Amino acid sequence: MTILVTGASGHLGRLIVERLLARGAAASDIVAGARTPAKVADLGVRAVELDYDRPETVAAAVEGVDRVVLVSSSEVGKRLEQHRAVVDAAAAAGVELLVYTSLFRATESPLPLAPEHVATEQLIAEAGVPAAILRNDWYTENYAGNVAQARETGEVTASAGDGRVSSASRVDYADAAAVVALGDGHAGKVYELAGDTAWSFDELAATIAEIVGREVVYRRLTTEEHIAALEAAGLDAGTAGFVAALDAGIAAGALEASDRTLSELIGRPTTPLAEGLRAAL
């Protein structure tokens, strides 16, 4: 059984290849697809060119493989058409399973990232390719930048209110993708994946304080104050609004989970917040 991992030069894609190997897949059975294959040559598996913006490279990469792990593109606003290239190629090649990394509770999420994920899920369904949808909650690594900020200022600033985040480390989500890609009985399943423990931003500040060795507090901002602060830091208005909208979604509960589907799938607890942040640094 051969497995193609798209976006293999990215943080998540690279980890998925590593977890496939760790879970017993032969290197000869893994294909790492990347825009620049040289960037994944060190993984020790077959590397092929796969550029989401060039469908001909996608079709060539998918040809002859049994399963495809579609790691969602990082280019917000372009994702649907980029994903379409992979879905179309997978359907044309008759792959037995397509695994897609989506967003936690995508169909009901208020996060501005959700629409492209929902549209991709619909595209997959319409294509008729057997698929498993992995709806990932937040990556703990998303907050590595807050550690550096807090080390300098003693503050974590956000407009997430009292919202809680059930984050896990990228390696946890990568491990889940490897389990599904290697296993049977996952076609037609939608997995809502999140960390075992939901944390508040006060708890994030306390955890960062332990890491940096100084007092750190969570300074709550309104959405308007957050946008103004981001623009003052150099972000354009559109990007600042997008970032603040993510926090608004967190405040509304978009990333809080209570079940343990992720840890059950990978057979171990998810990475604790402090451990994940330390590893990210």
Distances (CA, A) of 20 to 34, 42, 84, 111, 145: 17, 15, 25, 30, 29
Q: What is the pLDDT of residue 147?
A: 96
Note whether 65 and 95 are within 8 A (CB): yes
Q: What is the pLDDT of residue 118?
A: 98
Note whether 227 and 244 are within 8 A (CB): yes
Predicted confidence (pLDDT) per residue in 91-126, tens digit:
999 999 999 999 999 999 999 999 999 999 999 999
Note whether 112 and 246 are within 8 A (CB): yes
Q: What is the pLDDT of residue 34?
A: 98
Q: 3-138+168-195+259-271 adopts what CATH topology?
A: Rossmann fold (3.40.50)
Mean pLDDT computed over 222-251: 96
User: What CA–CA distance (Å, rounded) separates 262 from 31?
Assistant: 25
Pairing of strands 67-70, 155-158: unpaired
CB neighbourhood size of 91 (10 A): 17
Pairing of strands 199-200, 164-165: antiparallel
Distances (CA, A) of 201 to 112, 148, 166: 20, 16, 11
Domain range list for the chain: 3-138+168-195+259-271
In which band, very low, low, confident or very high, does the pLDDT at 63 lie, cut at 50, 70 and 90? very high
Helix locations, 65-186, DSSP H: 79-93, 114-127, 144-153, 170-182
